[in-house]
Every structure is written in structure tokens, then in C-alpha cells.
Amino acid sequence: DTAVSQTPKYLVTQMGNDKSIKCEQNLGHDTMYWYKQDSKKFLKIMFSYNNKELIINETVPNRFSPKSPDKAHLNLHINSLELGDSAVYFCASSQRRGYNEQFFGPGTRLTVL
Amino acid sequence: AQKVTQAQTEISVVEKEDVTLDCVYETRDTTYYLFWYKQPPSGELVFLIRRNSFDEQNEISGRYSWNFQKSTSSFNFTITASQVVDSAVYFCALSGAGSYQLTFGKGTKLSVIP
């Protein structure tokens, strides 16, 4: 029944490690997104994919690399993790751009030690 | 550039009081969409409403109502007879027509005290 799912829910890791967060949506949506929510709750878009094609890359360090194997999945791989990467990462999807509301996954809380 | 301002960082009300959350936006688009999302303490983001720029009718859904005024670029959210379960962070957001980007305000944390 879950519309947008993310794994893992919590991720605790050491600085310098590489980690991935997976996202899947079963809504048949064309567009998927990654957002970062910082400790002050500010939500900022990182990436947007439409039908597996990267549309937005909002000045995100190239240590972050999204991968979309098909339009139902959008994974986020992070290399050489830094303390400042600690945040909650949300995946979202929408039927199409602009008009449609975005449905969010439950979030992945990443803690870099 | 698009911008959403939620000037109220935190609001506390006593249960059963009415409360209004303010949202002011800036955009150069003539067609755009406005949204409200709720983030309860459990952390998920829950969609509440979408409004398009051509529809200035106010919307009511149970205890929730929304007032959209293009003249003042505002899209305010009122909760009537607030309940403890309304305690959450509420985000206003904006998207241009054809845009892939949803621009969020910084959120207003609402605490409803029993």
C-alpha cells in the first residue's frame, strides 16, 4: 500500500564512508525528487528526475549522485560523507511537474559521526 | 526567482482556539500553484491542499480553511478549534507551471497545548 517508500529509515555512519538511500514509488508517477531537510527543518530540493532523466541539480556537491534505473526508482548515492551531510533526506514523486502535488516518502535520517 | 515566506517561526495556542498560519509568496510566473504540507512530530510530510493561481476561491475542509489572495500574494491557512493532534510543522510551498521545483517556506511550528 505504501506509495513512496525509502530505505533505510535511519543511517548512522562514519565520515568518509560511502552510502546509498533507496526510493521506490508505486503511484505510476513520472517525476521523482530528492530533498534535504536540515536541522532547522528547512526543505531544499536536490534533484529532480523525469522519466529517468535528470532535470534539476540544485548546486549539490558532486559527492551526491542520483541514479534512476527506471521511473519507479530513484536512489541517492553519497560518497565521502561529511559531517554537514547529516540531515533528513526525503524522496518524493508527482504525476507530472508543477501542477501536481508531490507525495513524500517517510524520510531517511542520516547521521555522520 | 520564487520565494515563500512564513514569517511565524513558532506559534502556541491552547486547545480549541483558532489559529492562522501566514504564507506570502513571490513569483514572476502568471500561472503557479500553491501548496500546504503538514509535518507531524513523526516526521513524514503530508499533503494538505493545492491551489492554482486562477482560483481564488477560499477552501474549507473540516476544521481547516485556506484564504488565497493574489492581491497580497498570500495563501493563509486557518485551523478552527485547534486540537493537540494539529501540533506539527506546517509548510507552505510554491511551484511554477511546468516547473519541476517546489519551493518551500521555512515552516511554522504549531504547538497546541491541552
pLDDT (tens digit per residue) in A50-63: 887 888 777 889 99
What is the pLDDT, as a whole number, of residue B57? 84
Tell me which residue of A107, A89, A87, A85 sits closest to A15, measured CA to CA: A85
Q: Do B97 and A98 touch (CB under 8 A)?
A: yes
Contact list in B for residue A109 (CB cut-off 8 A) is 43
Contact list in B for residue A45 (CB cut-off 8 A) is 101-102
What is the pLDDT, as a whole number, of residue A1? 65
Alpha carbon of A96 to those of A7, A23, A55, A113: distances in Å?
Answer: 24, 18, 12, 37
Q: Do A33 and B52 touch (CB under 8 A)?
A: no
Amino acid at A22: K
| Contact present, B13 and B109 (Cβ < 8 Å) | no
Mean pLDDT of chain A: 91
Report residue A12's pLDDT band, with 50, 70 and 90 as the boundaries: very high
For residues A58 and B65, the model is more confident at B65
Taking a contact as any Cβ pair under 8 Å apart, which residues of chain A between 42 and 101 contact chain B?
Answer: 42-45, 48, 50, 55-56, 58, 88, 90, 92, 97-101
Report residue A85's pLDDT band, with 50, 70 and 90 as the boundaries: very high
Q: What cell does A80 get? A: 565521502
Q: CB neighbours of A59 closer than 8 A, spacing ≥ 6?
A: none
- pLDDT surpasses 70 at A98: no
pLDDT tens-digit series, residues B3-44 = 999 999 999 999 999 999 999 999 999 899 999 999 999 999
What is the pLDDT, as a whole number, of residue A50? 86
Report residue A64's pLDDT band, with 50, 70 and 90 as the boundaries: very high
Percent of chain B exceeding pLDDT 70 equals 100
CA distance B12 to B105: 19
